[in-house]
Structure 1
Amino acid sequence: MALEQTANATEAPWWTSAVVYQVYPRSFADSDGDGIGDLAGITARLDHLSRLGVDVVWLSPVYASPQADNGYDISDYQAVDPVFGTLEDFDRLLADVHARGMKLIMDLVVNHTSDEHPWFVESRSSEDNPKRDWYWWRPARPGFRPGEPGAEPTNWESFFSGPAWTLDETTGEYYLRLFDRKQPDLNWENPEVRQAVHAMMRWWLDRGVDGFRMDVINLISKDPALPDGATTGLGALGDGFPHYATGPRIHEFIQEMHREVFEGREGQFLTVGEMPGVTWEAARRFTDPARRELDMVFQFEHVSLDHGPAGKFDPRPLDLRDLKASLGHWQTALADVGWNSLYWNNHDQPRVVSRFGDDGKWWRESATALATVLHLHRGTPYVYQGEELGMTNAPFESVEDMRDVESLNYHRMAVAAGHDPEEVLRGLRAMGRDNARTPVQWDAGRHAGFTTGEPWMPVNPNHRWLNAEAQYDDPRSVFHHYRRLIRLRHEHPVVALGDFHMLLPDDPHIYAYERTLDGTRLLVVANLSGEEQTAVVDGDWSTQHLVLSNVDKVRADSGRITLEPWAAHIFMH
């Protein structure tokens, strides 16, 4: 699992040249016509992933769950939710993934459980239950009666709006839940909690899985004092983030996990930590191979650049110079120690072609240009289901078309606070998580080939032209461009291991950089705008050095490169 600091491709960890594909099971493929994607549906579509050329399948949660947060609220870590199938279905999927030469990693959600998990059912039953201390319980704030406004033990705000505490009538105390009220936070200060999590992880590895993507894993170490957070005004909820993110024992906990779960095992595993708000200094520590913690982390800086003053649902246009500064900084910060995860999309982000591209006139060009820019960076690229087809945000007519708990809570609270409902809806359409969760568009038929029944959420109507079947035989398609990008990473060590150097950092339209390794130079230059641009870069870059382009017309001579709208070229010599 450790990344040796070497340019030798034969010695570098396997995941440096790998590409990961995220499957959100509910929306991937439905095998039984109930309108919800399932494990058998994924198995039936594995040839799509083989054809794409990815190396790892990341499976979003399929554990038993009440589905308050679409499976990120787990009631049994060692059972498959019946909506997705059975453990036998999982075993068949895992075997078929391995038979195709791919690996499978599970989503590990251990900052919190469902309130229906047996651990929490016991914990809430009485103040002296042996599992009481498995979660964070506190009485009402001094001077308040339980249930009164402001009686919560701290002023922290939940990620899903409102207070981060819920009153439990059984004992009259509050439990901490940074997300939904049905997602109580585990108390990792308790060693019994950590031992139970480790045992569960070992159980899945014994079953054959190849690692874990760890959901909000940097939130598991809280400041035990649970102090109030800073507020923005009288009566406002406080920002508890500094008191529970990358907390005082986080590195101890992750190192213990590595030691108890992975050490002494045969196999090539992958561990990825999703870490909201992580700094590059902390990311270096988490991914420094000498520390034996994680292989790579997900950071959120670059997907926060278009958030306005009021947050993610107050979007503003992206300034490309900010994006280059952010991604370029992370490339530099983790150049000699650590490793980057590269992503535009996942189940929590809107579709990148609608967000940072042009999903109208320049749909194909902008989808492939953004893919090119991302995949040639140093790090492990992640492809979210449908991204390889250029799937777009959905045209939600009203909030009634939405399903995500975060969006629904925000809409309710924002409208109640007097905000313009149309403005609220505009923000949700642009940035809501439901955009990533519309069913995958397999063909032009009814419900895009996702299901024979009624889908759990509407299929994007553009599936009649934007679908996998239409792209398989089109060599210029978004799908085939992703195939070529993945093949480049597999075939050329400079893509996986080369040094990174940002070019033209102040240009507001052109994203350009060089990668170098052992005498090989690679240039990526992309026009991320709808107008023709000209890039002037050092070196003898001309069409004879062209490796890949997303457009037919390439004009390059001695480092002067004329770029059509949303054109992206890769040169190498």
Structure 2
Amino acid sequence: MHHPGPPRFVAVGDEVELAPRDPDPAATYAWTVAAAPADSTATVGDDPVEYFHPDQPGRYVVALDAPDGRHELTVRAFPGGLAPASEAPSYPTSGATETTADEAAAGTSGDAGDGSDRADDREETAADPDGGGRPRLSLSATVTEEGVVVETDPQPHPDGSETAGDLDVAFLLDDRDDLDREDVRIAGGELTVPLDAISDRARVHAVAVGRHGYSVPDAVDIRRDGGDITIHRPYDPPAWAEDSVIYEVYVRTFPGQDGDAADERGVFDAIRERLDYVEGLGVDTLWLTPVLANDDAPHGYNVTDFFALAADLGTREEYERLVEAAHDRGMRVLFDLVCNHSARAHPYYQAAVSDPASEYREWYEWRGPGEPETYFDWELIANFDFSHLPVRRHLLDAVEEWAPLVDGFRCDMAWAVPNAFWREVHDRLKARDADFLLLDETIPYIPDFQAGLFDVHFDSTTYAALRRVGNGEPAEAVLDAVEDRARSGFPDHAGFMLYAENHDETRYLVECGRPAAEAALGALFTLPGAPMVYAGQEFGQRGKRDALAWAHADESLREHVRRLAALRRERGSLATAAALDRVDYEVREGWDDRVVAFRRRADAPTGAAADGGRGEHDAEAGITGDAVVVVLNFGAEPATVAVDAAAGATDLLTGDSVGRADGLRVDSVAVLPAGRS
């Protein structure tokens, strides 16, 4: 089906990329504006991929005439003053990359208007004197005798003066569903779909609208199978991914300094033989850097064939054997997906350069005669032109080639690829397997990528805070960074990957020292999010892409990682969904600004059935629910810290008593049972 997917929420002045899905490069596609506000003069052109610019607030309908029929797409435009603040990545962006205000997916209205008539009448107001920004929204749905009731939970910006009651909610239905809008009722911040109006599917989208903008959209997917009605939340990350422990393997240097990469086994087999070790760290998700054929750059991101594995790594049989071995151990595997560009050594690029009349000339963006568009003046890649249907077809076919073998994609340079393409990848893969993971590399992160593009995001904000803290900034910055997720506009259900280093960054230990490295690892495993360990980080590797020095491993650091992973797995209070609270603490010996303490709290019953036997111990300690206090010390020397919220002096991480007369002795990380909330 060529329907362009879920409709869009945008602001006047934003750009909406329009592209047919599952494109046939040989087919004919035509766009028209079927409906628009009275004063609008917005139009679309004649190309299969078009860029639409709403010029008035209100509801637009653009129509696609395709080989399989006519498809309508609703675009809801808010006044330009409600556009989200600029979230441009720190990397340059291409003119063909859709702007961030257009990253939300939505549908058609559920009443005579668009669910919130007041939202279109808002003026472009000055900033709230008490602060403010994007609101947030989560949807839930309940099946009743009357119908399916979709409820909203609008939340104002944490720093603003608005309240939830000040926010409007704009509901929209999905153009792809067979649902009569007149059957749908909206009242009191709820939308009701009568049961007899649902033929097989009804997708409801919504945003919260405040004085300073509209939220990242959320959605519920209502499905009927005979007499059964089920509710799905398509923008939630897979449950397994939220608390996974991810291990990045830089494939070519992972085998190490012992000649493993050059022996007869091949790299895939060498990695497979270390899976017991990786599993023993507490890892349950393996991220392999690119494994496709490339131009011999060690990192593998310059692809020369999107359908073939790199010969120097091993055969397809060996790759599939590696993935199967990981699955046998209960580990999931992430494939590093590169879509923005090819290597200049790719045969298509070579053809485009050697023959200006080549069909592949249109596959690439060009900066000038013979000079391809790229980023950072990288000399070995060339950016694809996603307005050319054969490019989209080629990359979608590559997605289909590799997705069935793995459990998710780590999406390279996600910010540089048009959002409509990622939406199609998301919907295509989730239709088969809702648990397939899409992890985006976008720096800084972009809240709208949560709405039907990606499940989990690189938490580059917390990464940057950890680096600053490691270099002397007050340690409270790590808590500020986590709280910045909500300030940026991410909804509560957004997923994040926490990291302190990866193959692009200097090793944390090298830049910040061993004590801070231990504390940073503690932060990864105790803050909300999925922790990621870059291979070698667990034993003190110093080179970011060098062959791993397995024979020179720091065993105490490795044991530190094992204990952190085990404790996170055992304690519900360290799960991503558990609350994060600031607590009062006093550093009585050591550097005040090198220490931070916080509480993690899971609102769950205690008892053997609920927590594996911890309940009796917690009850004796006077603990309500499963709660811990974490103290991180980034300083070079131990600190003595008084934390009233802690209920005991036994470090749950090591089993050692850390109590002193004037507080707790903390070398780098201490996790204590917590007192009453």
- More contact order relative to length (CA 8 Å, sep ≥ 6): 1
Kindly indicate whether residue 427 of structure 2 is the aligned counterpart of residue 259 of structure 1: yes
- Cα distance, 1:502–1:36 mapped onto 2, change above 3 Å: farther
Q: 1:379 offset after TM fit, Å?
A: 0.8
Q: CA deviation at 1:101?
A: 1.2
Select 2:496's aligned residue among 333, 340, 362: 340
Q: Per the alignment, in what secondary structure is the counterpart of residue 481 of structure 2?
A: helix
1:513 maps to: 598
Q: Do 1:28 and 1:37's aligned partners in 2 also have CA atoms closer than 8 Å? A: no
> 2:241 is matched with which residue: 15, 18, 25?
15
2:401 to 180, 203, 214: 203
Correspondence for 1:115 among 340, 344, 348: 344
Cα deviation, residue 4, structure 1: 9.5
Distance 1:114 1:502, change over 3 A: farther
Shift of 1:27: 1.0
Residue 439 of structure 1 and its aligned partner are, at CA, apart by 1.8
The whole-number CA distance in structure 2 between the counterparts of 1:4 and 1:14 is 21
Distance verdict in 2 for CA 1:276–1:4, change over 3 Å: same
Pair 1:562 & 2:562 matched: no
Equivalent residue letter for 2:240? W
Equivalence for 1:215: 412
**Are the structure 2 counterparts of residues 380 and 504 from structure 1 closer, same or farther at C-alpha, using a change threshold of 3 Å?**
same
Q: 1:36 to 1:353 in 2, by over 3 A?
A: farther
> In structure 2, what is the equivalent of residue 85 of structure 1?
314
Q: Is the CA contact (8 Å cut-off) linking 1:527 and 1:563 kept in structure 2?
A: no
* Bigger fraction of residues in helix: 1
Q: Which amino acid aligns with 1:191?
A: L
1:182-331 aligned within 5 A = 182-206=380-404, 208-221=405-418, 250=419, 252-260=420-428, 262-266=429-433, 268-278=435-445, 282-283=446-447, 285-287=448-450, 291-304=451-464, 317-330=472-485
Q: CA deviation at 1:88?
A: 1.6
The structural deviation recorded for 1:553 is 5.2
CA positional deviation for 1:75 = 0.6
User: The residue matched to 1:258 in structure 2 has which SS?
Assistant: helix
Q: Deviations over 1:237-256 (max 9, x none)?
A: xxxxxxxxxxxxx2x23212
Structure 2 residue runs without a partner (length 5+): 1-137, 142-236, 587-591, 604-624
Mapped partners of 1:19, 1:254: distance in 2: 25
Partner residue in 1 for 2:582? 502
- What CA distance in whole angstroms lies between the structure 1 residues aligned with 2:594 and 2:471? 17
Question: What residue number does 1:452 align with?
Answer: none
Matched residue type, 1:527: N
Partner of 1:134: 363
Query: How does 1:485-496 map onto structure 2 within 5 Å?
Result: 485-496=564-575
Q: Residues of 2 paired with 1:389 and 1:440: CA distance?
A: 10
Structure 2 counterparts to residues 533-548 of structure 1, below 5 A: 533-543=639-649, 546-548=651-653
**What is the distance in 1 between the residues matched to 2:252 and 2:598?**
38
Shift of 1:113: 1.1
Going from structure 1 to structure 2, the CA distance change for 1:528 and 1:387 (only over 3 Å counts) comes to same
Amino acid at match of 1:380: A
Alignment of 1:8-157 (within 5 A): 13-29=239-255, 31=260, 33=262, 38-68=267-297, 70-139=299-368
Q: 1:440 maps to which residue?
A: 548
SS in 2 for 1:132: helix
Counterpart contact for 2:444–2:460, Cα < 8 Å: yes
1:306 and 1:482, CA in 2 relative to 1: closer, same or farther beyond 3 A?
closer
Per-residue deviation, residues 430-459 of structure 1 (Å, max 9, x unmatched): xxxxx211222222xxxxxxxxxxxxxxxx
Query: Aligned partner of 2:527: which letter?
Result: H
Give runs of aligned pairs for residues 342-381 of structure 1, distance below 5 A.
342-356=498-512, 358-359=513-514, 362=515, 366-381=516-531
2:282 is the counterpart of 1:178: no
Q: Distance in 1 between matches of 2:517 and 2:467?
A: 21
Q: Answer yes or no: is the 8 Å Cα contact 1:502–1:512 preserved in 2.
A: yes
User: Is the 8 Å Cα contact of residues 462 and 481 (structure 2) preserved in structure 1?
Assistant: yes
Partner Cα distance (2:633, 2:261) in 1: 44
From the superposition, tell whether residues 268 and 353 of structure 1 become closer, same or farther in structure 2 (CA, over 3 Å).
same
1:34 is displaced (CA, Å) by: 5.9
Q: SS in structure 1 opposite 2:359?
A: coil
Shift of 1:123: 2.7
Q: Residues 388 and 176 from structure 1, CA distance in 2 versus in 1: closer, same or farther, beyond 3 angstroms? A: same
Q: Which amino acid aligns with 1:173?
A: G
Gap change, CA 1:212 and 1:504, over 3 Å in 2: farther
- Report the CA distance shift for 1:26/1:15 in structure 2 as closer, same or farther (over 3 A): same
Q: Secondary structure at the match of 1:286?
A: helix
TM-superposed CA distance for 1:25, in Å, is 0.9
Could you tell me how far apart the structure 2 residues matched to 1:218 and 1:123 are? 25
Give the whole-Å Cα distance in 2 for the aligned partners of 1:35 and 1:73: 25
- TM-score by length of structure 2 reads 0.56
Q: Of Structure 1 and Structure 2, which has the larger fraction of its residues in strand?
A: 2
Contact 2:251 2:289 in 1 (8 A): yes
Cα distance, 1:36–1:323 mapped onto 2, change above 3 Å = farther
Per-residue Cα deviation, 1:95-151 (whole angstroms, up to 9, x for no partner): 111111111111111111111122322332333322222211143xxxxxxxxxxxx
- Residues 361-510 of structure 1: pairs in structure 2 closer than 5 A: 362=515, 366-391=516-541, 393=542, 435-443=543-551, 463=552, 466-467=553-554, 471=555, 477-496=556-575, 497-503=577-583, 507-510=592-595
Q: So what's the TM-score if we normalise by structure 1?
A: 0.65
Shift of 1:24: 0.5
1:331–1:378 Cα contact (<8 Å) kept: no
Look up the equivalent residue of 1:218 and give its one-letter code.
W
Residues 5, 298 of structure 1: alpha-carbon distance in 2 compared, 3 angstrom cutoff: farther
- Percent identical among aligned pairs is 28
Helix, strand or coil at the partner of 1:113:
strand
Specify whether residues 483 and 567 from structure 1 end up closer, same or farther in structure 2 by C-alpha distance, changes over 3 A only.
closer
